[in-house]
Amino acid sequence: MSKSLQELLSLKGRTAVVTGGAGYLGTAISETFAELGANLIIASRDHAKCVTKCEALMRTTNGAIKAVPLELDLLKKDAAPQFFDQVHRHFEAIDILVNNAWSGKKNSWESITEKDWEYDVDISLNSVFRMTKAAFEDLKKTRGVILNVGSLYSHLGPDYRMYDGKEFANPPSYGAAKAGVIQFTKYLASFLSPYGIRVNAISPGAFPHPPTQEHKAFMERLSAKNPMNRIGQPDDLKGAVALLCSDAGSYITGQDLHVDGGWGVW
């Protein structure tokens, strides 16, 4: 018997881990899962921020879901296995892993150091490997889903004319690491398919943080780069996340969905 779209989109009874789940884009991702009925583990180095977000989500869903805040430092190589030890104190296994966490400096080519480069690759790419490796046994049990967050700059080079090399610099390490995430997504989609695990990515762009949005001239330059003539807002990601992480996307794997206002068509 066929299921309704509402049934296909429901995540009731499932459990999702969202790294960076209380951040700018991570908040919208976490809200998507809560609205679809999933339990949540929101993880980042800022535990207090995770606590606040979890409390808010449980309030807005009237306690229909359980949201657990857990501290996680993805730069520590042994952090991921220890993190899942904590997860299993609250849930038997997870169904969905979202690798979203990111932090870094706004380096230009001239200013970036080898230390900066290694930091960005570690947080953006190596952490995806570590979390996926640690979550693998859970996802085998649940025939789960992995969603990796790439970037517009996984695919396209930044236009140097848009950046001043200082305040709005685009670090060369960012796009390189995110491109690695996309290739790793395709690898995992192939090699984890025998376990019934689906693996996809979304590539947002451009989604500047609120402080950057205060700079009108730069926002106009960003907006003009895509056919929709605007920047992305966090809620623009919700539909893509819902599709790729629910049964509505059960025949989709190995894909990278561009949420970029059409930037890539020009």
Structure-token pair, residue 5? 């779209």
Residue of 174, 187, 195, 251 marked catalytic: 174
For 224, other C-beta atoms within 10 Å of its C-beta total: 10
Check: CB of residue 99 under 8 Å from CB of residue 146. Answer: yes
Sheet holding 67-71, edge to edge: 67-71, 39-44, 15-19, 96-99, 145-149, 198-204, 256-259
Q: In terms of C-beta density within 10 A (0-12 exposed, 13-18 middle, 19 or more buried), how is residue 237 classed? A: buried
C-alpha to C-alpha distance for 121 and 7, rounded to whole angstroms: 39
User: Does the bond joining 206 to the residue before it have cis omega, within 30 degrees of 0?
Assistant: yes
Catalytic (active site) residue 187: no
Whose CA is closest to 91, among 146, 38, 20?
38
DSSP code of residue 92 = S
Pairing of strands 198-204, 15-19: unpaired
Q: Is 177 helix (H, G, I), strand (E, B) or coil?
A: helix
Catalytic residues: 174
